[in-house]
Amino acid sequence: MSAFWYYVFTLVFFLFDYFILAMGLNIQYGETGILNFAYIGFVAIGSYVTGVTSLPNSVGTGQQYILGWGLPFPINLLLGGLASSALAVLVAFIALRRLRTDYLAVVLISLSLVLYDVINNYVPLFNGADGLYNVPEPLAGFFKLTTNSFIPFFAAVSGVVALIMWWVMHRITNAPLGRTLRAIRDDVEVSSALGKGVFRYQLTSMIIGAFYAGVGGGLIIQFGGSFNPTAWLPGETFVIFAVIIVGGVGNNVGLLVGALLVETLLIHLPAFLPAIPGHPGLIEYIDTMVVGVLLMVMLWFRPQGVVPERIRRSPISLVKRPASAIIDVAAPTEPVVAPVGNPAIQELP
């Protein structure tokens, strides 16, 4: 396989992967209004747990890590997602229960930093700063794949996973559950006054979002075979925020567009450009700046994103009912408090 196709399939993989990551952050932020500034931490946990459940027992691998169960794909991926969800439960009970948006955001970003430092420095957990490597290529033995054919194969696998996860998310966001989450996003107090146990829904949203983060992270370590702390600097969270803000908060199709524009075209494609002579690594920095500027421009000129949240129209089957039933409208009902005997009401401003 030529280098060109290698690049293309890598880009395709990251498109699908960031689509999954964007869906997870979107249900938390876009649908429920939880500013999860620790999102990349959930991605990392998913990635590491997928790695350590897929790697064999650590004896003799030259790495230090927990578990080492040597489980096959996709069980390890599922465990990565579940581990991330478990972290979400913990975070929700510690922080979400008591704090409102801005304070919660500060606590979450601190949490992200703590998590980062612990994993980076405590080697026995996930091999510290070196991270995990030599993670087995999933299904490669089963399908007799070579290193070359694995890349397109796994890009396709990630596409299938993304499609399934999109379908699940589509069902959730279009169900009454999604509507209740959006009600909470729009006004927490009103939702509570309408009888919605806000915390329960926020918890649900955190768990679902974290599962998506975990699976997205798991796919990364399965694709590249390695994962270490340089891959999830706490600032990475904002790249995923850029994906959903550029694409369109609250719109699953928009998220795919956002993943394409931000992640594929801006973050990963320039990495394949030839370096600027005399300034190695400069492109990478320009890249980050471009994402930042794009984010500001979008928030300023088109805060709803490239593909805005769509209006969920009334069920057609009901609207087309015979005119007698509910179509007959507009004319305001006769005032029952007729001015009979009390002209004063009419005179009020």
The CA-atom distances, in angstroms, between 220 and each of 133, 161, 278, 311, 349 are: 12, 13, 31, 34, 65
Cross-strand bridge partners of residue 279: 276
Q: Beta-carbon neighbour count of residue 140 at 10 Å?
A: 16
Cα–Cα distance between 337 and 233 in angstroms, integer? 65
Instruction: Compute the least distance from the CB of residue 256 to another protein, in Å.
Output: 21
Interface residue with another protein among 172, 231, 253, 294 (CB under 8 A) is: 172
User: Do residues 269 and 11 lie in contact, with contact meaning Cβ atoms separated by under 8 Å?
Assistant: yes
Instruction: Compute the least distance from the CB of residue 252 to another protein, in Å.
Output: 15
Of 196, 218, 241, 210, the C-alpha closest to 49 is 218
Nearer to another protein, 220 or 245 (CB): 245
Nearer to another protein, 299 or 338 (CB): 338
Nearer to another protein, 226 or 304 (CB): 304
Q: Which tokens in the block code for residue 196?
A: 């919605």
Residue 179 found at the interface with another protein (CB under 8 A): yes
Q: Which of residues 196-255 bind another protein (CB under 8 A)?
A: 196-198, 201, 204, 208, 250
Interface residue with another protein among 2, 142, 189, 320 (CB under 8 A) is: 189
The residue behind tokens 């990478």 is: 284
Q: How many Å separate Cα 71 from the centre of its chain?
A: 25
Q: Which part of the chain contacts another protein (CB under 8 A), choosing from 43-51, 105-113, 142-150, 190-198?
A: 190-198
Instruction: Compute the least distance from the CB of residue 179 to another protein, in Å.
Output: 6
* HEC-encoded secondary structure of 9-21: HHHHHHHHHHHHH
Nearer to another protein, 148 or 346 (CB): 346
Q: Which of residues 25-84 bind another protein (CB under 8 A)?
A: none
Nearer to another protein, 27 or 291 (CB): 27
Give residues with Cβ within 8 angstroms of 339, minimum separation 6.
345, 346
The CA-atom distances, in angstroms, between 246 and each of 30, 39, 348 are: 12, 17, 49
Question: Residue 56 — left, alpha, or beta (φ > 0 → left; ψ -120 to 50 → alpha)?
Answer: beta
Nearer to another protein, 245 or 260 (CB): 245
Asked if residue 332 has a cis previous peptide bond (ω within 30° of 0), the answer is: no
Interface residue with another protein among 185, 225, 245, 258 (CB under 8 A) is: 185
Residue 191 found at the interface with another protein (CB under 8 A): yes
Residue 314 found at the interface with another protein (CB under 8 A): yes
Residue 326 found at the interface with another protein (CB under 8 A): yes
Interface residue with another protein among 97, 98, 171, 279 (CB under 8 A) is: 171
Residues that bind another protein (CB under 8 A): 168, 171-172, 175-177, 179-180, 182-183, 185-187, 189-198, 201, 204, 208, 250, 309, 311-315, 317-319, 326-339, 342, 344-349
